[in-house]
Amino acid sequence: MRLGKSAMVAAFVAMLLPASALVAQNTPQSERSSASADNNQNQVLVDPGVIYNDKQPANWVGKTVTLKNVMVQDTNNSGNFWVGFDNSHRLLVVKPENNPTLSAMRLHKGDVVTISGTIRPASNYEAGKTGAEKGSMHDAEKSSGIFLMADQMSVASSTQR
């Protein structure tokens, strides 16, 4: 029995489809997310680690993201804060000085927040430009090399009453 060329191609493609699904299942989330971050749409994430644990976090620079219901890991004197797992695995969130609503918000360690903004490269230049503390920006530069410039923020749950 002879199969036509188109039937053979169809059979070959059918065999490959399950393999491609298996590859997608076994690809680390950070690699899949990085690829999906290439489009200019807002990325909604519940784990900031998708960004700071990415093999190349700089690929996120310029992307708009929403971190939904993430816990504040630490804060600094300027009112900016960190989200993430610990001092080595976290993302700096900077509130713009020219936004009085965001600047007035004071968060505390353990607060649960939703933040939208743009990923930017961490540097001394950015610290001066954004009003972020140089020490915090330096920490961000040494860890993932990026930070999130917030443009919207809401508190879902606060540790303060």
Query: Mean per-residue pLDDT for 109-116?
Result: 96
Instruction: Kindly indicate the confidence band of residue 160, based on its pLDDT and cuts at 50, 70 and 90.
Output: confident
Sign of CA dihedral 67, 86, 78, 158: positive
pLDDT value, residue 23: 37
pLDDT value, residue 4: 58
Alpha carbons 88 and 116: distance in angstroms, whole number: 22
pLDDT value, residue 77: 87
Instruction: Kindly indicate the confidence band of residue 121, based on its pLDDT and cuts at 50, 70 and 90.
Output: very high
pLDDT value, residue 2: 52
pTM: 0.74
pLDDT value, residue 72: 95
More confident residue, 158 or 120: 120
Tell me: the pLDDT tens digits for 56-100? 999 999 999 999 999 999 999 889 999 998 888 899 999 998 999
Tell me: the pLDDT tens digits for 12-56? 444 444 443 333 333 444 444 444 445 568 999 999 999 999 999
Integer-rounded Cα Rg, in Å, for the chain is 21
pLDDT value, residue 122: 95
Query: What type of residue sits at position 17?
Result: L
Alpha carbons 108 and 91: distance in angstroms, whole number: 15
